[in-house]
């Protein structure tokens, strides 16, 4: 597929969304102030977008900050109504936006549609939440005193998102931030700018139609690393939610700490599964395959390590090899495809280097070869790989954002839990077992040290109702459901004296 037909396909998607054409520029590829747009499906550049200049970024952030000061005073249920209308717009345009996600991020169409459904779900969640931003009533030790806890908008929120979930992660943050009374400034991945512009276009239309006084409340800044740095350092941005690599998160965290800004960091994940002797293998193999090979291994929750009981590892390895050998790899827009391309050649190189390191250490590698190079010479399609190893070496403990699944035997549950927890990341984990005792031990304080710990399901595919995030090098942030909304608000403790005396706490006497 050459660039011109792909540009036409994107244009048709844009038309289905009812949006004005993207702000294409005629500048030469690689020119100053431009951002090349390509699809990982064929790897070809089919357009150039202008990069948001520092002056434009300042103006957009200033406008969002001004709108936020009024938005914060709007009753929360009224804020929820705007998010409800955004959810309706997403429902209307789910098919077109899901297709756009697949074209620009390379994930199969089912996953593209699923990502938009996740946006719709978090909007529904946030609408209900808008009537439940409640605090506490606290008993006071002093007579004729009342104590309570209240929550208030935190301030302008910056969102830095990654290519692998180009719209859902923004929605996790934006839907909550908006109902909590904040404005949102979005810096999307430079690899998926069109998805961001499309979503922002839908939100802009909702605001223009139903709340025009809040124009500019949310905005998008397209560009590279320097624009992200400017967003993080901008004095009007009080909270930064960043999704990406641990390296990036460390830089964001340090920059925000210098100005005492709040952060929500959702970073890498070297996620593991334990396959116990009692595991239901039919369920286990299916769950492991989706978790390890889905999205071409490019989820932060992708299954990368599997510790299989020594009595079952030969059977599990054989079954996985059989399944992997017949996984349909190809154009993600085609029916039947289950594994699309890696995002770019650099991702393919990282995968090849990791597998070469494994072979050098004596590991047995199945799969991992390049596919469809004749049809898509500039794209990067690969067969998902299995690596059989007896030790958890440095390569295995390093997150490679590609479909590599390491299989390693264990003999005791304590050993398997220790292997799970040995990774520097602490995002997602799971155990496959029919033993209640094993399951509960894995979920206990003596078990997995990850933010997500599952039983008899894989590491990926989280629902929006639970708080999403992990520990250690994953960053410690929480997004989406449960009480993650508290991250977008500031807490105040209030004490009211409704009597006519002034008793002091702790029985202190201070007579004047």
Q: Which residues of 259-283 are buried (b: 16+ CB within 10 A; e: fewer)?
A: eebbbbbbbbbbbbbbbbeebeeee
d(CA 196, CA 165): 11
Do the strands 479-480 and 467-468 form a parallel or antiparallel pair, or are they unpaired? antiparallel
188 and 222 Cβ atoms separated by less than 8 Å: yes
Output the pLDDT for position 462: 86
pLDDT of residue 329: 98
What pLDDT is attached to residue 30? Answer: 47
Work out the angle between the directed axes of helices 281-293 and 313-325 (0-180°, nearest 10): 50
Q: Which residues contact 416 (CB under 8 A, 6 or more apart)?
A: 274, 307, 309, 410
By the 10 Å C-beta count (0-12 exposed, 13-18 middle, 19+ buried), 503 is classed as middle
Q: Residue 26: what pLDDT?
A: 67
Which residues make beta-bridge pairs with 137?
148
As given in the structure block, the two tokens for residue 90 are: 């997403």
Tokens standing for residue 413: 């549950």
Q: Give the Cα separation of 466 and 437 in Å (integer).
A: 24
- Alpha-carbon distance 295 to 106, whole Å? 8
Tens digit of pLDDT per residue, the chain (512 long)?
Answer: 455 567 788 888 889 999 988 888 866 554 458 899 999 999 999 889 999 999 999 999 999 999 999 999 999 999 999 999 999 999 999 999 999 999 999 999 999 999 999 999 999 999 999 999 999 999 999 999 999 999 999 999 999 999 999 999 999 999 999 999 999 999 999 999 999 999 999 999 999 999 999 999 999 999 999 999 999 999 999 999 999 999 999 999 999 999 999 999 999 999 999 999 999 999 999 999 999 999 999 999 999 999 999 999 999 999 999 999 999 999 999 999 999 999 999 999 999 999 999 999 999 999 999 999 999 999 999 999 999 999 999 999 999 999 999 999 999 999 999 999 999 999 999 999 999 999 999 999 999 999 999 999 999 988 999 999 999 999 999 999 999 999 999 999 999 999 999 999 999 999 99
* Among 125, 103, 123, CA closest to 112: 103
CA distances to 133, 275, 282, 421 from 407, rounded to whole Å, are 45, 10, 17, 16
Contact (Cβ atoms closer than 8 angstroms) between residue 402 and residue 347: yes
Interatomic CA distance for residues 66 and 185, integer angstroms: 13
Q: How many angstroms separate the CA atoms of 340 and 372, rounded?
A: 11
**Dihedral sign, CA of 285, 472, 400, 392?**
negative
Q: How far apart (Å, rounded) are the C-alpha atoms in residues 205 and 199? A: 10
| Cβ pair 409, 318 in contact under 8 A | no
Q: Considering only CA atoms, which of 359, 379, 357 is closest in space to residue 370?
A: 379
- CB count within 10 Å of CB 430 equals 30
CATH number, span 271-470? 3.40.309.10
Cross-strand bridge partners of residue 308: 275, 409
Write out 316-364 in H/E/C secondary structure. HHHHHHHHHHCCCECCCCCCCCCECCCCCHHHHHHHHHHHHHHHHCCCE
Do the beta carbons of residue 270 and residue 306 sit within 8 Å?
no
Q: What is the pLDDT of residue 1?
A: 44
- For residue 286, the 8-state DSSP code is H
pLDDT at 27: 60
Which residues are part of the catalytic machinery?
266
- Euclidean distance between CA atoms 415 and 428, whole angstroms: 18
pTM: 0.95
What are the start and end residues of each CATH 3.40.605.10 domain in the chain?
52-267+475-492
Q: What is the CATH number of domain 52-267+475-492?
A: 3.40.605.10
Cross-strand bridge partners of residue 364: 388
Q: What is the rounded distance in angstroms from the CA atom of residue 356 to the CA atom of residue 485? A: 44
* Ramachandran quadrant class, 480 (left: phi over 0; alpha: psi -120 to 50; beta: rest): left
From 69, 45, 63, 244, select the one nearest 162 (Cα to Cα): 244
How does DSSP assign 71-111, residue by residue?
HTTS-HHHHHHHHHHHHHHHHHTHHHHHHHHHHHH---HHH
Q: Where in the chain is the domain with CATH 3.40.309.10?
A: 271-470
Kindly compute the dihedral angle of the four CA atoms of residues 372, 375, 380, 385, in this order, to the nearest 10 degrees.
0
> What pLDDT score does 127 carry?
98
């Amino acid at each position: 597929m050459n660039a011109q037909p792909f540009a036409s396909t994107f244009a048709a998607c844009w038309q289905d969304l009812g949006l004005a054409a993207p702000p294409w520029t005629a500048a030469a590829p690689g020119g100053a102030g431009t951002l090349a747009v390509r699809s990982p499906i064929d790897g070809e550049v089919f357009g150039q977008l202008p990069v948001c200049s520092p002056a434009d970024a300042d103006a957009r952030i200033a406008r969002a900050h001004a709108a936020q000061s009024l938005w914060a005073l709007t009753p929360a249920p009224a804020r929820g109504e705007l998010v409800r209308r955004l959810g309706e717009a997403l429902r209307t345009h789910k098919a077109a936006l899901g297709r756009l996600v697949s074209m620009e991020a390379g994930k199969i169409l089912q996953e593209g549609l699923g990502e938009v459904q996740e946006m719709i779900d978090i909007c529904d969640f946030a609408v209900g939440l808008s009537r439940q931003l409640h605090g506490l009533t606290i008993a006071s030790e002093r007579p004729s005193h009342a104590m309570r806890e209240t929550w208030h908008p935190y301030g302008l929120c910056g969102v830095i998102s990654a290519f692998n979930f180009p719209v859902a992660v923004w929605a996790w943050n934006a839907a909550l931030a908006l109902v909590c009374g904040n404005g949102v400034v979005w810096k999307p991945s430079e690899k998926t700018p069109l998805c961001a512009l499309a979503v922002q276009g839908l939100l802009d239309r909702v605001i223009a139609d139903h709340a025009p006084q809040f124009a500019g409340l949310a905005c998008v800044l397209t560009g590279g690393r320097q624009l992200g740095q400017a967003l993080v350092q901008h004095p009007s941005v009080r909270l930064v939610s960043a999704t990406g690599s641990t390296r990036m998160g460390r830089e964001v965290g340090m920059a925000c700490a210098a100005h005492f800004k709040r952060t929500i960091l959702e970073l890498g994940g070297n996620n593991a599964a334990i396959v116990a002797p009692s595991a239901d293998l039919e369920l286990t193999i299916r769950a492991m395959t989706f978790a390890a090979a889905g999205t071409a291994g490019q989820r932060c929750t992708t299954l990368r390590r599997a510790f299989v009981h020594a009595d079952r590892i030969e059977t599990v390895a054989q079954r996985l090899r059989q399944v992997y050998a017949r996984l349909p790899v190809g154009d993600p827009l085609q029916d039947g495809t289950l594994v699309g391309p890696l995002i770019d050649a650099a991702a393919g190189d990282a995968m090849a280097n990791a597998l070469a390191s494994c072979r050098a250490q004596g590991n047995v590698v199945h799969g991992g070869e390049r596919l469809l190079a004749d049809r898509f010479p500039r794209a990067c399609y690969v067969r998902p790989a299995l690596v059989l190893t007896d030790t958890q070496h440095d390569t295995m403990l390093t997150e490679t954002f590609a479909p590599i699944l390491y299989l390693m035997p264990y003999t005791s549950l304590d050993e398997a839990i220790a292997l799970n927890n040995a990774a520097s990341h602490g995002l997602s984990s799971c155990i496959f077992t029919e033993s209640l005792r094993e399951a509960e031990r894995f979920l206990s304080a003596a078990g997995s040290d990850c933010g997500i710990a599952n039983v008899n399901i894989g590491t990926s595919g989280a629902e929006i109702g639970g708080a999403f995030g992990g520990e250690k090098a994953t960053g410690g942030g929480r997004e989406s459901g449960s009480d993650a909304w508290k991250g977008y608000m500031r807490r105040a403790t209030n004490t009211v004296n409704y009597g006519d005396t002034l008793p002091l706490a702790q029985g202190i006497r201070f007579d004047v």
